[in-house]
Structure 1
Amino acid sequence: APSAPAWLARWEAAVAALGLPVQRLPSGAGHDAMTLHRVMPQAMLFVRGGELGISHNPLETVSDDDAELAVAAFATLLDQLARE
Structure 2
Amino acid sequence: MKIPVMLYVAITTLLLVIITIAVNLNTPLNWIFYLTCIGQMFVVIMVYKVLKDNYTTNKSFEDYYEDHPIREYDNYLKT
Alignment TM class, shorter chain as reference: 0.3 to 0.5
Q: TM-score, normalised by structure 1?
A: 0.36
**Pair member with larger Rg:** 2
Structure possessing the higher relative contact order (Cα contacts under 8 Å, 6 or more residues apart): 1
Q: TM-score, normalised by structure 2?
A: 0.37
Question: Which has the larger share of helix?
Answer: 2
